[in-house]
Structures are given as C-alpha cells and as structure tokens.
Amino acid sequence: MSSNPKLEDNLRAAILAEPDAVLDDKDLMQALVAANERARGDNIIDLRGIAMQRLEARLDRLEDTHRSVIAAAYENLAGTNQVHRAILRLLEPVDFEDFLRALGNDVADILRVDRITLVLETTLARKDPAIDKLGGVLTVVEPGFVNAYFAHDRNGQVRDVTLREIRQPEAKIYGTSAGHLRSEACLLLDLGEGRLPGMIVMGARDPRHFTPQLGTDLLSFFAGVFERSMRHWLS
C-alpha cells in the first residue's frame, strides 16, 4: 500500500493530491531540508542547501526593506496631508486674532502637537494686555531671544527648523504647560525687511515626537507659508 511504512496512507494520499501545497509552505520545506541533512550525516556538506539558506536570508532582508519603504511612504503622505490641512485652516480667518487662535487650537490639533506658540521679538518695554486674551498662543520677547533660543549656547549657523528633545521647557514660551513637554520643533520666521525675527515653537509630550533624525521639509514649507501670512497681517 505505502512504500514508506512510517507515513500514514491518508497523509501520503493528501501530499500526493496537492504537492504544490507542500512546496509553497516555507516552514514545511525547511523541516524537510533539515531532516534530509540529518539523514546525510555530519560528514556531508550540502553546498546547494547553504546557498539556498543565504538566498532566503537575503529575501527576508529585502522584504523587511520593502515593508519599511512602504511604511515610510505612507507616513510621509500622512504628514503632507496634515500640513496641507493646517495651512488651509490658517487661510480661513478674516482677522488677526482669529488667525492666532486658529494656530493655537485647530492647527495644533491637526498637526497632533500639544502646544504651538508664536514668539515675536519687540523693542517695546511694556507688554500689550491684549496678548493675554489669546490663551498663550502669542509671546513677545526681547530682541536677540530667538537666535539665542535656537542656538542654546551652541556655536554654528542657526537652522531654519530645529528639532530636539527638551528636559527643561522654557516657561516664557510654553506657560503653565511647560512641565509636561519633552520635545519641540522651532521654526524660524523672516517677517520682512526692517522687522525683528520671530519663530513658531511646537511642543509635544512625547520625547520622540521631534528628533533631529526626522525630515524638516514639511515644517519648512509650513513656516514659509506662515511667515508670508504674517507679513500680510503686519502690513
């Protein structure tokens, strides 16, 4: 009945009926190869088997790379959509106060950050009481504060976008929520000739939300649109 008494007739019949299923099963084929190697003994080296193992390892690495590339593409697309939605929201307000409130509330929600603050340098000695009514989205500072905040005692040229982890958030920027934030994105703003610089600071509770390894193209684009809108409002 069966040429192999160790193999049950029904199992042998199932394999003969669908041999392709055996070939397509990776774990089953590996088990068969391993059994074949054990049957040959330790004195025989199967070069073809070794080559197949290396090819399988390379295929696994290629599959992992493929999945990583696909995941990165989807993440980049999602980030692009977020920035586009945030910019469209900023274009809706018809007055400056609504523009700032949209930045601190709706735009922060769209970009999934815990806090957004617009920081503007000024030479005025007194703070405008109207700023307090904006819920902390706008902060005015003395001249030179922006460059110093970007540099943080480090030499070198100030980048337009800086991503970093923070351990002691600046209360002047974040207010009462400073203690909960662990990473930030700083976006330098050029507000036009004759005007002092400004910046947008985005804070997140997750220390890995903004890290130096992340790309900054989308944030640079957002900053470019925002600073042009600011020039319009300031004029």
The reported pLDDT for the residue numbered 77 is 78
- Check residue 1 and give its pLDDT: 42
Q: What kind of fold does domain 93-234 have according to CATH?
A: Beta-Lactamase (3.30.450)
Question: pLDDT at position 127, please?
Answer: 63
At CB < 8 A and 24+ separation, what contacts does 136-145 make? 136/104, 136/174, 136/175, 136/176, 137/100, 137/101, 137/103, 137/104, 137/105, 138/100, 139/172, 139/173, 141/172, 143/196, 145/119, 145/121
Q: How confident is the model over 89-100, as pLDDT tens digits?
A: 999 998 888 999
- What pLDDT, on a 0 to 100 scale, did the predictor assign at position 125? 56
Predicted local distance difference test score (pLDDT) of residue 39: 67
CA separation for the pair 66, 179 (Å, rounded) = 40
Segment-wise mean pLDDT, segments of 10 residues, the chain, 235 residues: 59 79 76 71 62 78 80 75 93 90 93 93 71 78 90 69 90 82 94 91 93 88 93 86
pLDDT score recorded for residue 162: 92
pTM higher than 0.95 for the full model?
A: no
Token code pair at residue 124: 């005025």
What's the pLDDT at 47?
Answer: 59
Alpha-helical runs (H) found in 91-194: 96-102, 108-111, 145-151, 171-174
Q: How far apart are CA 223 and CA 204, in angstroms?
A: 18
